[in-house]
Amino acid sequence: MLRALDRAVRHSVPKPTALIVNFPSNPTAFVANLDFYKEIVAFARRENIWILSDLAYSEIYFNADEPPPSLLAVPGAKDVAVEFTSMSKTYSMAGWRMGFAVGNPKLIQALTRIKSYLDYGAFTPIQVASVAALNGPQDYVSDIRAMYKDRRDVLLRGLSSAGWDVPAPAGSMFAWAPIPPAFADMGSVEFSKLLLKEAGVAVAPGLGFGEYGEGFVRIGLVENTQRLRQATRAIKSFMSRHGAGASTADLLGAASS
Ligand SMILES: Cc1ncc(COP(=O)(O)O)c(C=O)c1O
């Protein structure tokens, strides 16, 4: 990973000022560990570039023993980094435009200056609601986490029974799904269009997130479990109509029966 980053920085003219990292990731759902962040911080120090870390999914994780770490947990990270989080996911306040940033004082000061040009602060009731959310009982946060985990499990079970094996995301609100082999040649955009037309299910083509996203689609966990079951049933009949419905598990089952 660092080699790719190193190459990107060396070959960019002018040299990048900042590196943006986002884990748990939208769209790949990848969760970085502290060793990863240590390497990134050392790299940024060496190259004299800032790090902007987007920790919007800090509370949406499914492995209870391993909450996603903060990049600021790396000693010295504050010298080169600022980290953002958001009320949108943790407290279901998407669209309320409220979050906060912590880290390097120089960057925070610069952000304060820019914000002062743009507005005079968020609408007061939204600030008050955010204070209430942050200072109030936090059971809500574990309820939200359990809700997304439930949705993830329903989605993955349904897809697996449709013959589409998708790695379980460790966090975020998404599953990053490799296009089933039978459709791989058509690419993520055509596959997403076909799925929408024939199964009535909307997914985001990986290519929309950049060239490295090709070969994948992003599936959101934004619908309730009932709707997710409905979607996976539709995907199952879509897959079997295209002769792509047999999962590894089905094949093993069939072979042993
Ligand atoms: C990685 C990531 N960061 C930030 C946001 C948005 O946060 P906010 O609603 O605070 O702008 C999203 C929402 O989709 C996201 O996926």
pLDDT in tens, 25-58: 999 999 999 999 999 999 999 999 999 999 999 9
Task: Say what the pTM is.
Answer: 0.91
CA–CA separation, 182 vs 76, rounded Å? Answer: 48
CA–CA separation, 98 vs 131, rounded Å? Answer: 11
Q: What is the position in ligand 1's atom list of the atom closest to the CA of 173?
A: 16
pLDDT in tens, 90-110: 999 999 999 999 999 999 999
Q: What is the position in ligand 1's atom list of the atom closest to the CA of 172?
A: 16
CA–CA separation, 135 vs 10, rounded Å? Answer: 45
pLDDT in tens, 167-178: 999 999 999 999
81-86, strands of its sheet edge to edge = 18-22, 50-54, 81-86, 99-103
Q: Which two tokens stand for residue 225?
A: 């479990």
Domains and CATH numbers, the chain: 2-135 (3.40.640.10), 140-256 (3.90.1150.10)
H-helix segments, the chain: 2-10, 34-47, 87-90, 105-118, 124-135, 139-161, 187-199, 225-241, 248-256
pLDDT in tens, 11-30: 999 999 999 999 999 999 99
Q: How far is the CA of 26 from the centre of ligand 1 (A)?
A: 9
Q: Is the pLDDT confidence value at 70 over 50?
A: yes
Output the residue whose Cα is nearest ligand 1's atom 5: 56
| pLDDT at residue 65, rounded to an integer | 83
